[in-house]
Amino acid sequence: MSQSTSIPKKQTRVRDHGYDNYMEIEKKVRKILKFQDLILAQPNNMLSISRLDSISRRIGFKQFESGRFILKFPHVFEVFEHPVQRILYCRLSRKAVSQMEQENEALLRQIPDVVTRMRKLLMLSNTGRIRLEHVRIARKEFGLPDDFEYSVILKHPQFFRLFDADETRNKYIEMVEKDSSLGVCEIERVREREYREKGIDAEDIRFSFIVNFPPGFKIGKYYKIAVWKWQRLPYWSPYEDVSGYDLRSLEAQKRMEKRAVAMIHELLSLTVEKKMTLERIAHFRMAMCLPKKLKEFLLQHQGIFYISTRGNHGKLHTVFLREAYKKGELVEPNELYLARRKLAELVLVSPRKARVDKELANYRRDGLEDDGGVERDYIEDGFEVKGNGGRGWKDGDESDGDVDPSGDSAYSDEGDSSSESGLEESCTTE
């Protein structure tokens, strides 16, 4: 391929605000998960505010910052006065506890899918083995429970084997037997669907990927030609053993480069949310024969992947699979993803709504007296709001007040239902 018709090696990253906004919410969720772990590690799952302030410094919060942070999310954290000690404590709200239970139940129900996912992950390795520590670091992305070493690996000896390497003293997970029926990539299923639904020519779609460039990405005439030629370039499947091929020729190197794109595509497809940090992808670089300069390599294919630097002051790079998302949501959501997104929904609810919900609940509880109820005034945001004119609220009655009880605000929280720390390891990607 001539220089004018080849994809440029170095390209500037074009921002896509849909993915960046997703990561801004994810940044708040990660901080909340840190506080949840601190609270759940305490007796009775509650912690005094003064002790929370001292403990939170271990996870990077400054003095008095933790108290201001938890007050921003009243739907997740509940601050109350201890009935005996008369000091402020915090605990998780009922909605947050319900969301955690739902996520744990989803984790248990998808154990069979996790076993298949782990088998495919090991088949992507050129040696059929992967370091246990690398899988442990990325366990949330793959939907693995915290005790996956027992519940997934040791509990299925017909598929996995756990051993210690003599030369490195590291634990490895190894597949017992390769299953050819699992060696079908996700992109191959997408191609078949595109061929059947849209009737695209078989020769054009045989080795192609779904390409959706970000808004504002400049595509010139020669760049279009380069992408067209690259889409028709044959390559070896990520599940295929390439040890028997001569990889010294220029044609073989081109095929291996496209195979690396397919490898990262399949790796992201195995995750729950179709995304993973660049640093954690680099942990699998040696096992999957990925390029050394991963960031530059992924920027060559911005129509397939998107790298977001939001979420940790530009120090964290999150790689999204573009075709899996539409308008900030997964195209094919799974149960575990939906359970995790409910925590993000609690984060987005404004504190003012939480105050209104609490006041309405107290209003209804105090208004249901034996003699038809009593008039009660309450203060909201500095304005005095009158009660319901001496009429108690009963089941089925409609309110004449300023707040519509049939809207988003509810009388009580009954019936409502709705975890990532910093990098565990640093890995140089360039």
Q: What is the mean pLDDT of the chain?
A: 80
- Read off the pLDDT of residues 36-46 as tens digits, 9 standing for 90 and up: 998 998 888 99
162 strand-pairing partners: 173
- Read off the pLDDT of residues 303-315 as tens digits, 9 standing for 90 and up: 999 999 887 666 7
329 strand-pairing partners: 326
pLDDT at 126 over 70: yes
> Which 8-state DSSP code applies to residue 154?
I
Residues 6+ apart with CB under 8 A from 66: 35, 52, 53, 56
State the chain's maximal CA–CA distance in angstroms. Answer: 91
Q: pLDDT at position 313, please?
A: 64
Using CA atoms, how far residue 242 sits from 38, 74, 288, 291, 430, in Å, is 47, 54, 11, 16, 25
When mean pLDDT is compared across 48-52, 175-179, 199-203, 264-268, the lowest value belongs to 199-203
Q: pLDDT at position 365, please?
A: 47
Q: DSSP labels for 37-101?
A: HHHHTSGGGEEEHHHHHHHGGGGTPPTTHHHHHHHT-TTTEEEEE-TTT-SEEEEE-HHHHHHHH
Beta strands in 237-374, from DSSP E residues, in sequence order? 275-277, 305-308, 318-321, 325-326, 329-330
Share of the chain above pLDDT 70, in %: 79
Give the total residue count for the chain.
430
Q: pLDDT at position 358, please?
A: 52
- Output the six-digit token pair for 254: 């081109």
Q: pLDDT at position 64, please?
A: 77
pLDDT at 290 over 70: yes
Q: pLDDT at position 283, please?
A: 94
- Which is it for strands 88-92 and 46-48: parallel, antiparallel or unpaired? antiparallel
When mean pLDDT is compared across 117-126, 350-359, 420-429, the lowest value belongs to 420-429
Share of the chain above pLDDT 90, in %: 45
pLDDT at 373 over 50: no
pLDDT at 139 over 60: yes
pLDDT at 298 over 80: yes
Supply angle C-alpha 391, 396, 397, rounded to 5.
Answer: 25
Amino acid identity of 323?
E
- Read off the pLDDT of residues 212-225 as tens digits, 9 standing for 90 and up: 998 888 888 888 89
pLDDT bracket for residue 151 (50, 70, 90): very high
Helix (H) or strand (E) run with residue 118 in it: helix 111-124
Closest CA to 269 of 209, 199, 345: 209
When mean pLDDT is compared across 41-50, 92-101, 149-158, 282-291, the lowest value belongs to 41-50
- Output the six-digit token pair for 123: 């088949």
Identify which of 154-158, 354-358, 417-421 has the greatest average pLDDT. Answer: 154-158
Q: pLDDT at position 144, please?
A: 94
